[in-house]
Amino acid sequence: MKRTHIRMALTALATCAAAGPLLAQVPTTMAPPPQTMAPMTPPPKPTSFQITGAMTIPVFSYADFLTDIGWMAGGALVVRRGAFNSIRLDGEYNSTGYEGSNLTGSAEVYGGGIGGGRVVMKGNVQSEGYIVLGLYNHSASSASELQFGTKLGTNIVMGRGRVRPVIDIHWLTTWSQPYANLIAIGAGLRF
């Protein structure tokens, strides 16, 4: 029961983190006068490459037979289109082991896709909400299947140098059974 509560809390956290950049764009009647608002500066580079490592947490029905926390390694090529929009080519590899099951080995989900994002800047911190649609191979035990999938997440990039630290939180789900559902929370570098 304790794991269920933790998974529900992490799911809510990832959803809120992904929605943050979108909510920041909603106009409000309580906005300060224009002269007191911080100027919106565009992201520092038109093209960047990101590498990320993370822990992955199986959620929803996927967690019923994969109760072990796993790991993720990924990369993305992010191309800015205008000051605050981006196109993202994304790839990742996830591995999660079986725990307490009569199956042995690990479940793996790997693949990539293309998507887009919206960037919000505040000082030296950049928040980027994104969605990626792609193909992901799901393999468990001796079975393997190529599936369509969706990745919804957010990045928080700090600093303005050539190499900047990044925090990444995303949810990866596939569109057919066994419906792989993973939440990844990790960190990396953006070049």
Q: Can you list the positions of beta strands (E) in 36-180?
A: 47-58, 70-81, 85-97, 106-122, 125-140, 143-158, 164-174
Torsion sign over Cα 41, 45, 49, 52 = negative
**pLDDT of the residue at 1:** 47
What's the CA gap between 61 and 189, in Å, rounded? 32
Domains along the chain with CATH numbers? 2-24+45-190 (2.40.160.20)
Tokens 């224009």 belong to which residue?
A: 34
**pLDDT of the residue at 84:** 85
User: Over the chain (191 residues), what is each successive 10-residue block's mean pLDDT?
Assistant: 56 56 51 52 75 93 77 95 89 83 75 94 90 92 86 93 94 87 95 92
Let me know: does 30 contact 70? Beta carbons within 8 Å: no
**pLDDT of the residue at 4:** 57
**pLDDT of the residue at 144:** 86
**pLDDT of the residue at 101:** 54
